[in-house]
Amino acid sequence: MDVTEFEVWWKIPFRHSAGIHATRFFEGLKEKKILGVKCEKCGRVLVPPRAFCERCHAETGEWVEVKDEGIVETMTVTYMKFTGLPDPPYAVGVVKLDGADTGMLCFLGGVDLSDWRRVHEAFKPGTRVKAVWREEREGKITDIEYFKPLD
């Protein structure tokens, strides 16, 4: 017997507040500045910035500008199409920027993504990378198009 199936959609718009810290971070991106905040208790510079340090349960304090260069902690290239996610191939990595104590999730680019082994060689953990900024910046995380190998 063919069992009846119903198609159901969840397509519900929301508007998430970014809060004051992320808003200031996004404003900085327009000026090609990457801002973090310092936890006065543990001294870590958190990038992207947030209102409290979850390790210390303490409000963060001083704003710090970090460099738009850093090192790759890890990465992956996606070759399968997932519903609603970017079209493959796309490379994503965690980059620790100079002056920051946390990694930032970002796209990696500037190299041919067709052979994953070569991409892993280009961005192996420890590789220095630099941000490639969009010409037209609108104060969004995607104002940084991707990070490319520094050399």
Partner 1 sequence: MRVAVVGFGQTPFRTKRKDKTHPELAFEAINVALEHAGLDMKDIEAVAYGSMDPFDGIYCPERWDATACGLEKPVMKISTGGTTGMTTALAAYEHVASGLFDVAMAVCVQRVGECVDAQPVLNTAVDPIYERHSGLGAIHVAAFQATAYMAKYGATEEDLAWVSVKDHKNALKNPCAHIRMDISVEDVLNSRVVCSPLKLLECCPRSDGAAAVIFASEDVAKKVRDNPAWVVGETTISDSYYLGDRPDFADWDSLAIAGRRLFRTAGVENPVKDIDVAELYSPFTIQEILELEALGFAEKGKGKDFAKEGITFPDGEMPTNPSGGVLCTNPIGATGLVRFGEAALQVMGEAENQVDGVEVALSHAWGGTLQFHTLALLSSRKKLR
CA 72/CA 124 separation, integer angstroms: 7
Out of 52, 56, 99, 103, the residue judged to bind partner 1 by CB under 8 A: 103
* Element counts in the chain: helices (H) and strands (E): 2, 9
Out of 52, 63, 116, 133, the residue judged to bind partner 1 by CB under 8 A: 116
Q: Which amino acid is at 86?
A: P
Is 145 a residue that touches partner 1 (CB under 8 A)?
no
Is 99 a residue that touches partner 1 (CB under 8 A)?
no
Alpha helices in the chain (DSSP H): 19-30, 116-122
Is 84 a residue that touches partner 1 (CB under 8 A)?
yes
Kindly state the greatest CA–CA separation across the chain: 67
Count of Cβ atoms closer than 10 Å to residue 56 Cβ: 14
Chain-centre distance for alpha carbon 86 = 14
Nearer to partner 1, 41 or 50 (CB): 50
Q: Which stretch binds partner 1 (CB under 8 A): 11-19, 32-40, 61-69, 130-138?
A: 11-19
> What's the order of all strands across the beta sheet hosting 52-53?
45-46, 34-39, 58-66, 52-53
Out of 40, 58, 74, 150, the residue judged to bind partner 1 by CB under 8 A: 74
Is 58 a residue that touches partner 1 (CB under 8 A)?
no
Binding stretches for partner 1 (CB under 8 A): 3, 5, 8, 10, 16, 18-19, 22, 46-48, 50, 54-55, 73-80, 82-86, 90, 92-94, 96, 102-107, 116-117, 119-120, 124-126, 141-142
